[in-house]
Amino acid sequence: MSLQELKEKLWKAKHLVVLTGAGISAESGVPTFRGEGGLWKQFRAVDLATPEAFARDPELVWEFYNWRRELIAPLSPNPGHFALAEIERRIPHFTLITQNIDGLHKKAGSTNIIELHGNLWKVRCTRCETTSEDLSMPLPKLPSCRSCGSLLRPHVVWFGEMLEPKVLNAAFDAISSCDLMIVIGTSGTVQPAASMGIQAKRNGALAAEINLEPTPYSDVYDISILGKSGEILPKLLCRKEE
């Protein structure tokens, strides 16, 4: 199916769910995880993004997250993020599920966002679990909770951790009630996000993918469009044929 066909389905959709991954932010300058220059090519996730790593060396883990905050803070949303915010304004019911922690969807104006993997700009107490936004940069080497003084951790999901049930349920509620799902810029390697498009399809929705290169799910989706999301998504907005 072509871009034109996706466009037609999009503007007829009653409930659209979009799932995004690192690819949507690539054109903003945020490194992806697995492609060329990907974070997990440079660093070992087990040393930096697991509960064990944090227990072993919280300063090192915080150094990594402070570095990522400094890298991402000056970056802006790209035309892909902005197009999704505009689509949200024009579709009766829209849910954006993102695996990204960079906060760029919100910066672009999207509002109904489910952040599956947390948020780089939020911190959580390791003892009382108080969660708050903290934009200060850099955070102290070992930041502490304002309520109880215990060590804070990044409010992100690490390898080996469960997603927050409330967040996961909200995502699956949306997936089970949508009639169109578009999966954008994710390699489809991390569960449960990886199988969400298939789940939507099983529930009767049409499933589409926009990605720079084919993924393990490309053949299963109804529509697979190869290219940059920052170039393709704005094209969905103009109603004329291309």
Q: How far is the CB of 115 from ligand OAD (least distance, A)?
A: 10
Site map 57..96 versus ligand OAD, x via CB under 6 A:
----------------------------------------
Quote the CA–CA distance of 237 and 146 in Å, as a whole number: 45
Q: How far is the CB of 120 from ligand OAD (least distance, A)?
A: 10
Listing DSSP states for 66-79 in one string gives HHHHHHHTT----H
Per the DSSP assignment, residues forming a β-bridge with 94 are 16
- Residue 148 site contact among ligand OAD, Zn ion, none (CB < 5 to 8 Å, cut-off depends on kind): Zn ion
Enumerate residues 114-143 that contact Zn ion by CB under 5 A. 125, 127-128, 130
Enumerate residues 22-51 that contact ligand OAD by CB under 6 A. 22-23, 26-27, 32-35, 38, 49
The strand pair at 131-133 and 118-125 is best described as antiparallel
Q: Is the peptide bond before 138 cis (omega within 30 degrees of 0)?
A: yes
Angle CA 95–97–101, to nearest 5: 135
Site map 197..216 versus ligand OAD, x via CB under 6 A:
--------------xxx-x-
CB 166 within 8 A of CB 2: no
The strand pair at 206-211 and 223-226 is best described as parallel
- Residue 32 site contact among Zn ion, ligand OAD, none (CB < 5 to 8 Å, cut-off depends on kind): ligand OAD
Enumerate residues 128-187 that contact ligand OAD by CB under 6 A. 157, 185-187
Angle CA 33–163–195, to nearest 5: 65
Place of tokens 């915010």: 85
Applying CB under 5 A, the residues found at the interface with Zn ion are 125, 127-128, 130, 145, 147-148, 150
Applying CB under 6 A, the residues found at the interface with ligand OAD are 21-23, 26-27, 32-35, 38, 49, 99, 117, 157, 185-187, 189-190, 211-213, 215, 228-230
Task: Report the catalytic residues.
Answer: 117
